[in-house]
């Protein structure tokens, strides 16, 4: 509590500090008699910035108008479809969930694939983005090629996303800004054609299974219970957000302060997110501009209530299963509390009704960021920079299952005295970043040289504790207070509390240098080198050296282009270099540290000999070192016809080498594999395009078309065996020079019209009812899309505006296990199924594509492509319709500007996918939380 009070006090101090700037003398500005010139766009290049004209890098950027006021609690969800070569996919519609972000394909197999996020110069990660307010963001830029990422060395292997938050301008007026959104979220529809109660009873009668088997057709026709369990567990939910900001600036000091509140209920019962945020950014300088500084404070506090066990088949735990597959002839009125529900699978929705009432899980997430930067011009050519950034991430979780829960009562052991449980967990993570940098810039005639060098230190520390009390006294137990914990009962082993704790620490040191040479603004060469060390590896292997070189040719600056008036910018660029990945184990930045993978580790075992304790050994790899990503890129930037047509085109190759992998070993050493840097190479080749075209541009009407697209082809080399077959059901196929882990399946042909069994294609192309291993075939595409991108248009007419964003992915497969479950006749009597089973094969209904309800070879479809679906989709991700109120209508009021916006998210999706949500970040779908459709009304007022 003291920490929170101190944090709020700090925020109030900064907030009041912004207001105090009003007392500063703005200063009288001299009239500018110079000609107005266009300001060149600035892009981020590693640890510095340059103009777009002089950059040699491949980058993609979106500005605040495409980020702010979108109804998404996670910043990265907003960027979907707006960044070429960046595949952003959500695995859950749960408010606050983290999406998967992949830039130019994977360059690791078992390692972490997250890009590095740099917020106002502070390298961080996306683990707590639910506590970050997207309305604070000014711009987001993705650095993709080696020349752009090499300056980040050990953290740039997966790409870098640079986020800049808002700030005030010097000598500017004070502006107050209030933004508000209200809206509603609804469940997207599925196309499984689920049976109603009468249809399900009829199918059960056909299959001689379940409740329908004992009913006559007249009884079925007169049956009057028909529960839509989707409507019970999923409901339209409300969303609201409010932001109040102040931007102001004196002659030498400017600031931006914003206070925000978001409340987003989940469409699935028991889920939701509440977030309070406060950001203050202060920029200052001296009168002679020799010393400049920036200080930023961000505090985000969120409470996330979650549904557990999603994506699994736990029928008494997964609420999505109850909604989709709950038998409609079961009524909510059948529910009884206190564990009195009969343990029959057909009562699954009743079990889940009980869980809805008796199980809760919530996480409080506190995020505090402190960022600072100071620059001092020692001379006109030499500048010193220092950055110090710190971050505190604090998570407090509380989950419980009440003593009267059905799961508590039913699974009570015979010698168990108290039932129910409660878990309280805490996590405290502190991250620190410190950078010292010298930069030198010199122009000699037509030559310009920029040299930069520096040192960076990063420290990450975490401590975790968890306590589970097994057994609660219902008379005095109060959630989260520690009361109602009965004393240990002798002989009751269940009643023993479970306690765990852990801590980890990671240090990284870096030295880096950059050389940027320009000649006449026509030709440029940029070189980077970085020496990195990480405590993740042993002393002999902790250092790695990464580098890049890039070049550009500004063709439009050549003399032979002077008379080509329709070309404004035409630039060729290219780069080659390396980057390192030390996060060789997927998960948080602390994954793989305890125990360290280069050491042998021992665990106690349950087996013993002659009364001694057994030890199990896990062999480490002493020579463990960096994974390395090698990448080349060639591209062109263009702006034509007075910038009406502008865009970029890139071709690249990205290859991960010395990939961390469980390499096979002789069992003579006691294990079948050792995790090590292997000979495996993972290569991605691709093409990216990004464009915008102003179809109409005049004082009254502007119409801009924009789009981006990317193609990425993945191949793997130097596997331990080729082909390499992984998995059981399903199976994946990998071969040198081909896709890594392609689906390995029987091809499903349909129904044998003579007996209703399933037919598959054998190796010779003939139908068979009993396929063998020899009939398995790898598919051309896998679980990551070959193509992805987005497009849309922006229309502005006399204050009215319409903006759209479409997103798409293509050439990707995913298993639809929800579809498989509702088409499985073995589920009859326990769960609902698709009404398509009414058309199942019978001796009198042979012309059908639905197998017999009693097909003898139904189990073969688990290894087939019957439920392996083309997951390609085109989605209207966002559409906005709004109006900027004319200034003439608010002329005599305190309001400077007012806009009203209606928008919708995930409005329409075109896909072969039958489930709720075609979008996913995994290769299979079962009982997962679908992304909702969201409608909002927003107001933006400045005064």
Q: By C-alpha distance, which of 425, 511, 422 is closest to 462?
A: 425
User: Does the model's pTM come out above 0.85?
Assistant: yes
399/543 Cα distance (integer angstroms): 42
pLDDT value for 16: 31
Handedness of CA 81, 366, 162, 42 (dihedral sign): positive
Q: By C-alpha distance, which of 188, 274, 234 is closest to 905?
A: 188
27/31 Cα distance (integer angstroms): 12
Q: Answer for the pair 804, 878: CB distance below 8 angstroms, yes or no.
A: yes
Q: By C-alpha distance, which of 221, 344, 209 is closest to 853?
A: 209
Handedness of CA 80, 683, 113, 628 (dihedral sign): negative
Q: What's the angle, vertex CA 55, arms to CA 52 and CA 61, rounded to 5?
A: 55
37/51 Cα distance (integer angstroms): 15
Structure tokens at 892: 């005599």
Q: How far is CA 523 from CA 469, 574, 648, 798, in A?
A: 68, 12, 18, 43
643/565 Cα distance (integer angstroms): 11
Handedness of CA 491, 494, 496, 502 (dihedral sign): positive
CA 327 from centre of chain: 34
- According to DSSP, the β-strands at 567-581 and 627-640 are antiparallel
Structure tokens at 353: 């009704």
Q: Answer for the pair 933, 185: CB distance below 8 angstroms, yes or no.
A: yes
Q: Answer for the pair 813, 871: CB distance below 8 angstroms, yes or no.
A: yes
Please name the helix (run of DSSP H) or strand (run of DSSP E) that holds residue 406, with its range, or none.
Answer: helix 406-410
489/499 Cα distance (integer angstroms): 18
pLDDT value for 768: 96
Q: What is the DSSP string of 435-464?
A: EEEEEEEEEETTEEEEEEEEEEEEEEEEEE
pLDDT value for 459: 95
Q: By C-alpha distance, which of 880, 885, 917 is closest to 901?
A: 880
Per DSSP, what are the bridge partners of residue 774?
Answer: none
Q: By C-alpha distance, which of 314, 317, 210 is closest to 270?
A: 317
Q: What is the DSSP string of 799-834?
A: TEEEEEEEEEEES-EEEEHHHHHHT-GGGTTTS--B
| 3-class DSSP assignment, residue 194 | strand
Residue whose pair of structure tokens reads 């109603």 in the numeric block: 196
486/416 Cα distance (integer angstroms): 12
Cβ burial 588-597 (10 Å sphere, 16+ → b, else e): bbbebbeeeb
pLDDT value for 153: 66
pLDDT value for 47: 63
- According to DSSP, the β-strands at 116-119 and 160-165 are parallel
Structure tokens at 599: 């050491």
Q: How far is CA 480 from CA 269, 406, 791, in A?
A: 21, 21, 48
Please identify every stretch of the chain with a pLDDT value under 50, giving residue numbers as ranges.
1-38
Q: What is the dihedral of CA 860, 864, 866, 867, to 10 degrees?
A: 100
Percent composition of the chain: helix, strand, coil (DSSP 3-state, to 5): 15, 50, 35
Please give the span between the terminal C-alpha atoms of the chain, in angstroms, as a whole number. 36
The pLDDT tens digits of the residues spanning 305-361 come to 989 888 876 889 999 999 999 999 999 999 999 989 999 999 999 999 999 999 999
Contacts of 155 (CB under 8 A, 6+ apart): 116, 123
Cβ burial 402-419 (10 Å sphere, 16+ → b, else e): bbbbbbbbeebeeebebb
831/817 Cα distance (integer angstroms): 14
Contacts of 743 (CB under 8 A, 6+ apart): 730, 731, 732, 733, 778, 779, 782, 783, 813, 865, 868
Q: Is 12 exposed, middle or buried (0-12, 13-18, 19+ CB in 10 A)?
A: exposed
CA 876 from centre of chain: 19
The pLDDT tens digits of the residues spanning 341-355 come to 999 999 999 999 999
Cβ burial 39-62 (10 Å sphere, 16+ → b, else e): eeeebbbbbeebebbbbbbbbbbb
144/129 Cα distance (integer angstroms): 21
Structure tokens at 898: 């007012």
pLDDT value for 3: 34
Q: How far is CA 512 from CA 151, 158, 436, 543, in A?
A: 7, 19, 10, 13
Handedness of CA 934, 316, 96, 398 (dihedral sign): positive
Q: By C-alpha distance, which of 506, 401, 559 is closest to 112?
A: 506
The pLDDT tens digits of the residues spanning 177-204 come to 999 999 999 999 999 999 999 999 999 9
107/630 Cα distance (integer angstroms): 9
pLDDT value for 48: 63
């Amino acid at each position: 509590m003291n920490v929170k009070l101190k944090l709020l006090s700090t925020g109030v101090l900064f907030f009041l500090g912004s207001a105090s700037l009003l007392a500063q003398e703005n200063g009288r500005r001299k009239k500018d008699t110079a000609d107005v010139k266009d300001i060149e766009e600035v892009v981020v290049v590693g640890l510095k910035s340059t103009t777009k004209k002089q950059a040699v890098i491949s980058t993609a950027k979106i500005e605040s108008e495409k980020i702010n006021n979108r109804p998404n609690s996670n910043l990265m969800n907003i960027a979907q479809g707006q960044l070429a070569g960046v595949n952003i996919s959500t695995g859950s519609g749960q408010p606050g969930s983290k999406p998967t972000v992949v830039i130019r394909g994977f360059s690791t197999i078992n390692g972490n694939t997250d890009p590095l996020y740099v917020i106002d110069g502070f390298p961080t990660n996306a683990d707590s983005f639910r506590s970050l307010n997207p309305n604070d963001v000014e711009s987001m830029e993705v650095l993709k090629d080696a020349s752009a990422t090499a300056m980040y060395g050990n953290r740039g292997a997966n790409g870098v996303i640079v986020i800049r938050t808002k700030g005030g301008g010097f000598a500017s007026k004070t502006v107050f800004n209030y933004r508000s959104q209200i809206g509603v979220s609804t469940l997207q529809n599925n196309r499984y054609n689920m049976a109603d109660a009468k249809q399900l009873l009829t199918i059960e009668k056909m299959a001689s299974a379940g409740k329908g088997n004992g009913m006559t057709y007249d009884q079925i026709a007169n049956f009057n219970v028909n529960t839509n369990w989707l409507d019970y567990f999923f409901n339209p939910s409300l969303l609201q957000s409010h932001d109040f900001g102040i931007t102001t600036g004196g002659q030498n000091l400017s600031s931006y302060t914003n206070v925000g509140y978001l409340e987003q209920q989940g469409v699935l019962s028991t889920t939701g997110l509440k977030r309070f945020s406060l950001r203050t950014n202060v920029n200052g300088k001296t009168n002679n501009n020799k010393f400049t500084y920036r200080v930023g404070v961000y505090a985000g506090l969120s409470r996330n209530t979650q549904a557990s066990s999603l994506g699994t088949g736990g029928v008494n735990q997964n609420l999505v299963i109850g909604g989709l597959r709950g038998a409609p002839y079961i009524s909510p009125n059948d529910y009884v509390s206190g564990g009195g529900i009969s343990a029959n699978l057909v009562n699954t929705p009743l079990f889940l009704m009980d869980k809805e009432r008796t199980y809760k899980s919530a996480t409080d997430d506190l995020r505090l960021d402190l960022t600072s930067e100071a620059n001092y011009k020692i001379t006109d050519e030499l500048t010193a920079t220092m950055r110090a950034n710190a971050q505190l991430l604090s998570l407090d979780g509380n989950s419980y299952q009440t003593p009267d829960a059905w799961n508590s009562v039913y699974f009570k052991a015979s010698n168990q005295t108290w039932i129910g449980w409660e878990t309280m967990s805490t996590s405290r993570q502190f991250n620190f970043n410190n950078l010292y940098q010298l930069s030198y810039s010199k122009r000699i005639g037509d030559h310009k040289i920029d040299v930069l060098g520096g040192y960076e230190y990063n420290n990450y520390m975490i401590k975790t504790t968890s306590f589970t009390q097994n057994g609660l006294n219902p008379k005095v137990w109060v959630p989260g207070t520690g009361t109602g914990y009965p004393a240990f009962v002798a002989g009751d082993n269940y009643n023993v509390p479970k306690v765990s704790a852990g801590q980890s620490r990671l240090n990284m040191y870096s030295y880096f240098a950059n050389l940027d040479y320009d000649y006449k603004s026509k030709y440029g060469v940029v070189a980077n080198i970085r020496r990195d060390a990480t405590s993740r590896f042993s002393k002999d292997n902790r250092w790695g050296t990464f580098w890049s070189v890039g070049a550009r040719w500004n063709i439009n600056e050549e003399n032979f282009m002077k008379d080509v008036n329709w070309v404004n910018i035409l630039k060729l660029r290219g780069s080659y270099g390396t980057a390192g990945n030390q996060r060789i184990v997927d998960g948080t930045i602390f994954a793989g540290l305890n125990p360290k993978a280069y050491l042998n580790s021992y665990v106690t075992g349950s087996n013993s000999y002659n009364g001694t304790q057994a030890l199990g050994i896990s062999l480490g790899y002493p020579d463990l070192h960096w994974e390395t990503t090698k990448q080349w890129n060639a591209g062109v930037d263009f702006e034509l016809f007075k910038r009406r047509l502008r865009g970029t085109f890139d071709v690249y190759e990205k290859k991960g080498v010395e990939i961390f992998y469980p390499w096979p070993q002789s069992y003579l050493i006691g294990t079948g594999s050792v995790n090590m840097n292997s000979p495996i190479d993972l290569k991605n080749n691709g093409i990216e395009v990004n464009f915008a075209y102003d179809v109409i541009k005049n004082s009254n009407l502007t119409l801009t078309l924009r789009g981006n697209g990317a193609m990425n082809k993945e191949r793997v080399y130097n596997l331990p065996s080729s082909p390499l077959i992984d998995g059981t059901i399903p199976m994946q196929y990998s071969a040198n020079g081909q896709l890594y882990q392609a689906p390995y399946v029987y091809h499903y042909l349909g129904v044998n019209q003579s007996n209703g069994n399933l037919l598959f294609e054998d190796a010779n192309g003939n139908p068979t009812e009993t396929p063998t291993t020899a009939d398995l075939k790898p598919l051309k595409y896998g679980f990551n899309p070959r193509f992805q991108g987005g497009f849309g248009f922006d229309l502005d007419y006399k204050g009215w505006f319409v903006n759209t964003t479409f997103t798409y992915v293509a050439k990707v497969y995913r298993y639809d296990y929800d579809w498989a479950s509702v088409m499985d006749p073995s589920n009859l009597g326990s769960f609902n199924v698709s009404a398509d089973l009414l058309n199942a094969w019978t001796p009198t209904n042979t012309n059908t594509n639905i197998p017999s309800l009693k097909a003898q070879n139904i189990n073969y479809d688990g290894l087939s492509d019957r439920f392996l679906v083309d997951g390609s989709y085109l989605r209207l991700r966002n559409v906005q319709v709004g109006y900027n109120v004319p200034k003439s209508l608010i002329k005599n009021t305190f309001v400077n500007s007012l806009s009203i916006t209606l928008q919708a998210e995930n409005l329409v999706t075109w896909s072969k996918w039958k489930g709720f949500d075609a979008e996913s970040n995994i290769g299979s779908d079962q009982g997962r939380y679908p992304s909702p459709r969201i409608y909002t009304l927003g107001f933006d007022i400045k005064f």
